[in-house]
Amino acid sequence: MQKNLQTVTIQTGIPGTITLLQKGVTIHATSGMSIRDFMVEEIGLSPDYAETRVRAIFVNGSPVDDIDGVKIKDGDEVSLSGALPGISGIAMCRDTPISGFRSDISAKTSEAVRSGDAIIYLKLFNLIAKEAGPILLKKGVIAQAEDVRNFLKDSAPEGLPAEDGPILLKI
């Protein structure tokens, strides 16, 4: 995590936490790691959970099918979701019979190797935000103080800096 960030602690399950995770938070990772390794090593998901519960993955807006072949790099935006509703949702989830119809927009595999620090903007949606959010927050995320105030409202923690800027948010 970044140095010199004020650590702010929140309670598990307070209203607004899921909305904050949907808006997005920042975490550190290693550039060149696969999406699977990112979910397991950096977020803290079990390998089984990453494989079976995380059904829709986007890197910089492109759907991901190959969680071992697609690698992250500094500045990427990664979105994780459970199953998405409707035909569009089915088309965007991985391992579906119709995912081939969107191959032109899918994230491409990479031969990148692990090297160097990567700052990743992470968004969690639906059941992934609810189930995996606490796991991620135990490790800590970088969030904007203004976003914490806006989304947690009356549940915003004491000790939140009055000025806007990045904080280390943990449960």
Beta carbons within 8 Å of 142's beta carbon, 6+ residues apart: 1, 2, 5, 25, 26, 27, 166, 167, 168, 169
Low-confidence ranges of the chain (pLDDT < 70): 1-3
Q: Long-range contacts: 130-136, Cβ < 8 Å, 24+?
A: 130/18, 131/49, 131/53, 132/43, 132/44, 132/45, 132/49, 132/80, 133/17, 133/18, 133/21, 134/12, 134/13, 134/171, 135/43, 135/44, 135/45, 136/21, 136/25, 136/27, 136/43, 136/44
Of 72, 62, 74, give the one whose Cα is nearest residue 99. 62
**Angstrom distance (rounded) from CA 76 to CA 10:** 26
Give the pLDDT confidence score for residue 3 in this predicted structure: 63
Amino acid in the structure at residue 98? I
Give the pLDDT confidence score for residue 41 in this predicted structure: 96
Give the pLDDT confidence score for residue 2 in this predicted structure: 56
| Longest distance between any two alpha carbons in the chain, whole Å | 50
